[in-house]
Structure 1
Amino acid sequence: MTKDVLPLCPVEGFHTVEILGSGGNGDVTKIANNETGEEFALKVLRRVQDDTYQRFQNEVKVVTKCGIEGVMPITASCLPVNPREIKPWYVMPLAQPFSVFIEGKSFSQIIEAFIPLAETLEQLHMQRIFHRDIKPDNFLYYLGRIYLTDFGLVKFPESGNLTPERRDVGAKFTMAPEMRRIAFKADGEPADVYSLAKSLWIALTKQPLGFDGQFIRGSALSLSNFEKDVYLAPLEDLLHKSTDNDPRQRPSIKAFKEELIQWLALNEDFSARNLTEWLEIQNTLFPMGSPTHAEWTRREDIINILSIIAGRKSLNHMFYPSGGGMDLKGVEQAGESGAISLLVGPQSAEILKPKKLCYESFGFDPEWNYFWLEADEIEPIDGVALSYNGFDQYLTELDRGEYTGPEAWEYSEYNYQPLPVTARRVNRYIKGAFVFFSKASRYNATSSTYDAWQNIGEVKFREKIERAAARFRR
């Protein structure tokens, strides 16, 4: 678009560079100083009515007088006596749109950016200033942080009530339910929290629109559908509380901010995060309280529980009956009848027929709680040697349940032909027990535990860990 078709700039000494956007009542353009070339953003009120002009004046008043960092400043304004003859306008620094800022940002980086944004909102609420139109489109990245802009629907003690009955207030996909039903008398504080929570979900998931109703963990809305490598439970609990239909059940903006800070600290501290996740798994399995012992024998139940353990990156460490250990990455049914595959790599698995899976707890610190997986005794594959300790055979699995010797994997061929795409390296366990501890546990940090302590037997092993748990009780 050439300069001669752009709207004239009403600010003396400036010219219009380009159109940045248009809303229901106003237009935003980029303007530049005629002499220095310095650029700014200009908002002009296009739709001038008594209520829209009053809101425009309120916006300028709040922004220029609140003195809060994180509120996008207004550097110049025009509030004429007769707005139908002279268009009202104000000027702001030029900033980066939030949608551009979050491109490629991780969950942790976005949470880190939202903390000062929540701090800004907290300070506004302390002055009884409620934004009431919080959405990602009203966030701008400026001077190394996120700023809040567009206070056109702001409510503060001197603003009066410009909202008629049966008129909703806010953006459709982030609007609190009370702002849709009774905006003229709704409390702006919990409404802002609701909208900020939905804005956070949009930012984290990179979805163009929000969702209807309350956030439900474990649903299609779950953050785990978009991110697997961070601990999400506290964050999802916060979103659930903050989008409650009852405004009284939502946290304050201060509590919202503090939970973001705690979540970020937890995810930066691997040990704390890991032990918290380990406890959460136990709370998921036993919501009424952790028993001292639980046992499962059905293969489907064993697969489901081990899949929960394997579902979070670097949560567990699996200790082998033959010695050593690996992180469990996944679990699935094996080709053999009644057997399961413990996945430890893209082309590597441990195969066994499970006899039982046990959970053991001691009521002290969850880091000592563990899972015991006992392999049923099965016959070895003929013609392939057992490992030196007699627990397993190293094999090449050509297809599910179809085995040959390890040389096929070592030489990448079978019967002088390349291995099929289904082939993988496996260890087939004919007996023994595996144990699973949290990655950050003292058990995992003790190098001698890789000598398969569990080989002393189920009962003696539990007694040994119970003594350790009591000795190191926090």
Structure 2
Amino acid sequence: MGTKLKAPKVGDKLGNWTLVEAIDSGGNADVWRASHSDYPNAAIKILRDLREEPYARFRNEISALQKLEDLKGIVPMLDFCFPDGKIARPWYAMPLATGSTEFLKKADKRSIVSEFLRLGETLTTLHAKKIAHRDIKPQNLLGWDDRLCFSDFGLVKYPDLTPITKPRRDVGAKFTMAPEMRREAAGADGLPADVFSFAKTLWIFLTGEPLGFDGPYVALSRVGLKNFMPEEYTTTLDVLLTDCTQHDPVERPSIDQVVKRLQEWLKIVDDFQLRNANEWSEFSKKLFPQQNPAQANWTDVAAIVSVLNEVAKVPSLNHMFFPDGGGMTLGEARIAPEIGFIELHVGFVVLLKPTKLSYVSFGHDPKWDYLRLEAELVKPTGHFSTQDGDYREYLSELLPGQYDNPDVYEFRHENEVILPAGSRSIVRYLRGSFVFFSTSSPYNQDGSTYDARHEKMNETEFEEYMGRHARR
């Protein structure tokens, strides 16, 4: 079984092909650049290890490529030779392709997902024929014919294939290998194993990390996509990677479902309205994972801050309407130094004393859902001139919870005054209600709503007002 043959060298002839230079070397085979009268720049894969198992796998690889013929997304086989009796090294020729890392080095995240979408369509065709690649990893993807393609079918498995893998042997790349392929590859179903490896390979390219992660994907861990794609909407991909890397292969989606979900992500990220609707819906699911209620209320200050920060996590998610007109995006909520107050960061600092935060949903479409925050009536500090009925006062906060006239901070440079570290300008609200809508909501899209109409209605009246529009 250990037949020794002369190693190939530059200038050797394999059929009508001339070896030009060695370009890669794997565990069992070498790849050479080769020339032919019809293909001056091609590649030849030559089996180096002639032991029984590598020899049989190489035969199966050639057989699989013959079956696949000109399937898009597969680096095709141009020519081959599989001599009987091991008197020469088996080989096959293919177009000279580009390594996947080089091919995708300038691709943005959406382009990477688009390439994997096309790969997924190819894998869907393979799986429909019950053909499992079983070795999906970055090294086995190549750029050819202006797209990413599968290559290296050395571990392929298909229905009429003579079994090769011995019991208790693992099969595949260590960092993308499905757990069942580690335990018992011979008896494992290669189709869900492909889905597992496909997902981990996608993660490698989206993150730029050279190695995959161990175990199932966890979005809130250090491997979460948001750590690598902070500006992108990732939830749909997070859920997909979680599902694809389930320990139990039965729990994983089929590859055609993976394709549909990649299409969904691409559609969402290219459509602000759709993405924003998804973000608002996800916000409500975080608050109410079991069932979305028609209404929920919070009166605890810490709970109110926590809920508002869920909205504030995505800058494009929300728009906050003031009780005296206008609106801004909420960036962050905090408990304020003044007892019972919270501070809202909206490009400037807003202070208010909340009495209740309410969530209202009309059930059928999250774009109509909203939050309403009621501010308690409080006395002005006396550092800013106010009249009865005023909504706010402008102040300088020199130390936490210690205020002064707004000019102290505003003209500190002109007056050459050195203020305590952390001094800031604030707007302290004396009363009123604030409402929060998704940025793409019909309420926010209507410029006339900036007239603070919500403040002119009590909670029940505003809910009825919004309900009428939602039902239309």
User: Residues of 1 paired with 2:451 and 2:115: CA distance?
Assistant: 45
For 1:388 and 1:43, the matched residues in 2 are separated by: 86
**How far apart, in 1, do the equivalents of 2:425 and 2:468 lie?**
38
Deviates more, 1:396-405 or 1:168-177: 396-405
Distance across 2 between alignment mates of 1:93 and 1:310:
51
Correspondence for 1:461 = 462
Alpha-carbon separation, structure 1, partners of 2:36 and 2:421: 66
Q: Secondary structure in 1 aligned to 2:346?
A: strand
Contact 1:45 1:56 in 2 (8 A): yes
Residues in 2 aligned to 1:326 and 1:7: alpha-carbon distance in whole angstroms: 70
**Are 1:449 and 2:449 counterparts?**
yes
- Matching of residue 212 in structure 1 with residue 214 in structure 2: yes
- What does residue 291 of structure 2 align with? 289
Q: Aligned letter for 1:195?
A: S
Residues 1:378 and 2:389 are matched in the alignment: no
Q: Which residue of 2 aligns with 1:92?
A: 94
CA RMSD of aligned residues (A): 2.8
Q: Equivalent residue for 1:80?
A: 83
> Distance in 1 between the 2:162 and 2:388 partners?
84
After alignment, is 73-82 or 263-272 more displaced?
73-82
Amino acid at match of 1:466: G
SS in 2 for 1:318: strand
Counterpart amino acid of 1:224? Answer: K
1:316 CA drift (Å): 1.0
Note if contact 2:34-2:44 (Cα within 8 Å) is conserved in structure 1: no
Partner of 2:356: 356
Deviations 1:391-447 (A, max 9, x none): 122345456545554446655627415778745543222221110011111111111
Residue 36 and residue 73 in structure 1: after superposition, are their counterparts in 2 closer, same or farther (change >3 A)? Answer: closer
Identity of aligned residues (%): 43
Matches of 2:136 and 2:217, distance apart in 1: 17
Q: Secondary structure of 1:62's match?
A: helix
Q: 1:464 to 1:132 in 2, by over 3 A?
A: same
Change (3 A) 1:86 1:181: same
Q: Deviations over 1:75-123 (max 9, x none)?
A: 233323354x533333332333222333354432222111110001011
355-364 vs 442-451, which moves further: 355-364
What's the secondary structure of 1:413's corresponding residue? coil
Describe the SS at the equivalent of 2:319: strand
In structure 1, which of residues 81, 102, 119 is the aligned counterpart of residue 121 of structure 2?
A: 119
Q: Are 2:50 and 1:48 equivalent residues in the alignment? A: yes
The structural deviation recorded for 1:299 is 1.8
Say if 1:130 and 1:154, in contact at 8 Å, map to a contact too: yes
Measured in 1, the distance between the counterparts of 2:418 and 2:303 equals 37
Do 1:229 and 1:312's aligned partners in 2 also have CA atoms closer than 8 Å?
Answer: no
For the structure 1 residues 162 and 13, does the alpha-carbon distance in structure 2 shift closer, same or farther, using more than 3 Å as the test?
A: closer
Matches within 5 A, 1:268-279: 268-279=270-281
After superposing the two structures, state which structure 1 stretch, 146-155 or 204-213, moved more: 204-213
Whether the aligned pair in 2 keeps the contact of 1:228 and 1:313 (CA below 8 Å) is no
> What displacement does 1:18 show?
5.5
CA distance in structure 2 between the partners assigned to 1:391 and 1:421 by the alignment: 28
* Cα 1:13–1:195 shift into 2, 3 Å: closer
| Counterpart in the other structure of 2:254 | 252
In structure 2, the CA distance between the partners of 1:88 and 1:403, relative to structure 1 (3 Å rule), is: farther
Cα deviation per residue 1:250-300 (whole Å; 9 max; x = unaligned)? 211111111111221122222122112212211221122122221112222
Q: Distance in 1 between matches of 2:385 and 2:18?
A: 85
**8 Å CA contact 2:344, 2:350 repeated in 1:** yes
Q: Whole-Å Cα distance in 1 between the matches of residues 434 and 355 of structure 2?
A: 11
Aligned to 2:200: 198
Q: Provide closer, same or farther for how the CA distance between residues 157 and 450 of structure 1 changes in structure 2, counting only shifts above 3 A.
A: same
- Judged with a 3 Å threshold, the aligned counterparts in structure 2 of structure 1 residues 449 and 60 are, in CA distance, closer, same or farther, namely same
| Correspondence for 2:4 | none
Q: Which amino acid aligns with 1:391?
A: Y
Contact 1:278 1:366 (C-alpha < 8 Å) held by counterparts: yes
- Report the equivalent of 1:3: none
CA separation of 1:267 and 1:151: change in aligned 2, threshold 3 A: same
Q: CA deviation at 1:157?
A: 2.7
Q: Is the 8 A contact 1:387 1:393 kept in 2?
A: no
Give 5+ residue unaligned stretches, structure 2. Answer: 1-7
Q: Which amino acid aligns with 1:51?
A: E
- Please, what TM-score do these two structures have when normalized by structure 2? 0.89
Query: What amino acid is aligned across from residue 59 of structure 2 in structure 1?
Result: Q
Per the alignment, residue 71 of structure 1 pairs with 74
In structure 2, the partner of 1:23 is 26
Secondary structure in 2 matching 1:109? helix
Structure 2 counterpart of 1:148: 150
- Output the CA distance in 2 between the equivalents of 1:411 and 1:214: 56
Give the match's secondary structure for 1:274.
helix
Paired residue type of 1:437: F
Match of residue 179 from structure 2: 177
Letter in 1 for 2:218: I
Q: Which amino acid aligns with 1:376?
A: E
For the residues of structure 2 that align with 1:56 and 1:236, how far apart are their CA atoms? 37
Pair 400,118 (structure 1): closer, same or farther in 2 beyond 3 Å: farther
- State the number of aligned residues: 461
Provide closer, same or farther for how the CA distance between residues 66 and 351 of structure 1 changes in structure 2, counting only shifts above 3 A: same
Q: What letter corresponds to residue 380 of structure 1 in structure 2?
A: P
Q: For residues 278 and 387 of structure 1, what CA distance do their matches in structure 2 show?
A: 38
Against the structure 1 CA distance between its residues 227 and 425, is the aligned structure 2 distance closer, same or farther, given a 3 Å change threshold? farther
- Whole-Å Cα distance in 1 between the matches of residues 68 and 418 of structure 2? 72
CA 1:22–1:277: 2 relative to 1, 3 Å: same
Aligned-partner residue type, residue 376 of structure 2: D
Letter in 1 for 2:72: E
Counterpart among 228, 231, 256 of residue 229 in structure 1: 231
Look up the equivalent residue of 2:75 and give its one-letter code: M
